Each structure stands twice: as structure tokens, then as C-alpha cells.
Structure 1
């Protein structure tokens, strides 16, 4: 999935940098995603390998700075697993849909 047309206009990341950010998410998903659960339309929970914590934390910190509508919560329920909860407001469910699709597609590579 290379089309970033789902990225909202409110994203402040420069357009030229968006493919790089998407590639970073794809890399995280490919390397560390262990599962994904759509808890509600506005809430996605990703289960990640625990070793990905530094990469995940850096990425969500930078993403929060450019797309403030995301709420990210990173937790370690046990030593080997991270959970990354991603929430969006009703108006941004389409963005979460695209991110969920991207996660499952990258995991399958």
C-alpha cells in the first residue's frame, strides 16, 4: 500500500516526508507486529514484540507531533510483549482503518 491519500489534511508532516514515515510504520509492523485487534471503530490495539519498544516509542512520539488527533498508549503487559493502543476521534476513523490495513499488510510480507 503506497497511496497516502488517506492521510488527513490536518497532518503537519511535510508531504515529502510522508513516504518515509509510512515506511517507518511498515518496518515496525513487519518486524514487530504479533497481532492486531480492532476493539472499537475508534480503537486499534497492536501487539508488538517487546524488543521494538525504543523504535515504537520514538515513532509514536514523532507521529503525535504532526497528527495530534491520534492518542497512543504504549504498555508492557509482560516482558516479551508490548501493546500499542491507538485511538482516534469519530472524524478520523478512516485514518485508523487505513493504518490497521497497513499493519496487517506489512505483517504479511
Structure 2
């Protein structure tokens, strides 16, 4: 993944985030970079379930696993599932309880806007 166009604008991150404030801009920049480089499609399967279609490269899977593990350590309400439905495809399912649908809304909006048209 490249480091072009990294942003530290944290206005999209919901208040439910428990990551210490000094670490937030870096994590948000990591998500932006991941969305920009790896996300090929964004599907909202339900109010509580988002599926990101990812580039199938091994490095993308490694980055997704690392980033989601770190995110779940500070925001335990997230449930992440990474699957490889085919040899060249990768999906990242993100689920939240009903009380945190606004967090998933923000994540979906950010993934869509940062990845741009494909």
C-alpha cells in the first residue's frame, strides 16, 4: 500500500471510538489508505452489516487482518470476518450491534468516499 493522499481528518470517526486521542489520526489515516488502496466495492447488506469487496492480493489480506485486530482491541463492538470466496477475491464483513449502527454508517460512508469511483 502506498502513502499517497493520507489524511488525518478525524471528523468522520464516531464518538464511540475508544482509541486514545493522540493515536486517532494515525489509525484514521491507516483506514483511509486501506480504503483507497484495497476496497473495490462497498455493499450494505443490512443496517448492522457492511461488506467490503477487497483486492485479492495476499498483502491486502495481511493488512486487513492487522488493521481489524487493532481496531477490535479498542472498539470491541465490531465483529470483523475476512473471507476468500475465490482465489482472486477477498471480502471483509463488518457487523455491529444495533446500538452502534451510526458507527457502521460512518465507516461505510468513509469507505465509499475515500475509495472513489472504480
Tell me the residue number matched to 2:73.
Answer: 65
- Partners of 1:84 and 1:47 lie apart in 2 by 7
Which of 2, 10, 20 is the equivalent residue of 2:26?
A: 20
Q: In the alignment, does 2:112 pair up with 1:104?
A: yes
Partner Cα distance (2:31, 2:79) in 1: 16
Structure 2 CA distance for partners of 1:4 and 1:49, relative to 1, 3 Å? same
| SS, match of residue 36 in structure 1 | strand
- How far residue 13 of structure 1 moved from its aligned partner, in angstroms, is 1.4
2:35 corresponds in structure 1 to 29
1:76 is matched with which residue? 84
Superposed structure 1 runs of 4+ greater than 6 Å apart: none
Which structure 1 residue ranges, 5 or more long, are not aligned? none
How many Å separate the matches in 2 of 1:7 and 1:38? 21
- Shift in Å, 1:7: 3.1
User: TM-score, with normalisation over the residues of structure 2?
Assistant: 0.85
Total equivalences in the alignment = 107
- Unaligned regions of 5+ residues in structure 2, if any? 1-6
